[in-house]
Amino acid sequence: MLNSSSYYTNNDFSIEEYTRYTRHLNLSMIQKEGQQRIKEAKVLSIGSGGLASTALLYLAASGIGQIGIIDDDYVDLSNLQRQILYSTQSIGEKKVSAAKKKLMNLNPNTFIQIYDKRLDNLNAYSIIADYDIVMDATDNIESRYLLHKVCTALNKVYIYGAISQLKGQISIFNYQNSANYSDISDNIDLGNNDCRDNGVLGMLPGTVGLLEATEIIKVILGIPSSLKNQLLVYDAVKMTFLRMNFKKSKRRTFFNRKSEHLESVKAVSNSFKLNQDNVVNQKNMTLLKVIIDIRDSYEFSQGSIIHAINIPLYKLLYDTNIDFLKEEALRKDIYIFCTNNVRSSIAIRLLRKYEIYAYIY
In a domain, 198, yes or no: yes
Q: Give residue 278's pLDDT.
A: 38
Query: Residue 214's CB: how many other CB atoms inside 10 A?
Result: 19
Q: Give residue 332's pLDDT.
A: 86
Same domain for 226 and 268, yes or no, is: no
Question: Among 202, 217, 245, which residue terminates a domain?
Answer: 245
- Exposed e or buried b for every residue in 66-105, given b needs 16+ CB within 10 A? bbbbbbeeebeeebbebbbbbeeebeeebbbbbbbebbee
Same domain for 139 and 188, yes or no, is: yes
Q: List, for the chain, all residue ranges whose pLDDT scores fall below the cut of 50.
A: 1-10, 251-287
In a domain, 22, yes or no: no
Alpha helices in the chain (DSSP H): 15-20, 22-25, 31-40, 50-62, 95-106, 124-128, 141-154, 181-185, 195-198, 204-221, 257-272, 276-285, 297-301, 319-329, 341-352
In a domain, 13, yes or no: no
- Reduce the DSSP state of residue 319 to 3 states and report it: helix
Same domain for 208 and 123, yes or no, is: yes
Q: Give residue 269's pLDDT.
A: 38
Q: Give residue 39's pLDDT.
A: 96
In a domain, 80, yes or no: yes
Question: Among 211, 245, 279, which residue terminates a domain?
Answer: 245
Same domain for 281 and 322, yes or no, is: yes
Same domain for 54 and 166, yes or no, is: yes
Here the CATH number for the domain that contains residue 138 is 3.40.50.720
In a domain, 16, yes or no: no
Here the CATH number for the domain that contains residue 287 is 3.40.250.10
Q: Give residue 281's pLDDT.
A: 41
In a domain, 52, yes or no: yes
Same domain for 211 and 287, yes or no, is: no
Same domain for 267 and 191, yes or no, is: no
312 contacts 295 by C-beta, under 8 angstroms: yes
Q: How far apart are CA 14 and CA 294, in angstroms?
A: 51
Question: Among 245, 275, 302, which residue terminates a domain?
Answer: 245
Model pLDDT for residues 82-104, shown as the tens digit of each residue = 999 999 999 999 999 999 999 99
Q: Give residue 4's pLDDT.
A: 39
Same domain for 48 and 197, yes or no, is: yes
Same domain for 182 and 275, yes or no, is: no
Residue 110: give the domain boundaries. 41-245
Same domain for 122 and 48, yes or no, is: yes
149 contacts 255 by C-beta, under 8 angstroms: yes
Q: Give residue 194's pLDDT.
A: 56
Q: Give residue 330's pLDDT.
A: 84
Same domain for 59 and 176, yes or no, is: yes
Give the chain's domain count. Answer: 2
Same domain for 94 and 200, yes or no, is: yes
DSSP 49: S
In a domain, 33, yes or no: no
Q: Is the pTM of this model over 0.85?
A: no
Q: Give residue 188's pLDDT.
A: 54
In a domain, 15, yes or no: no
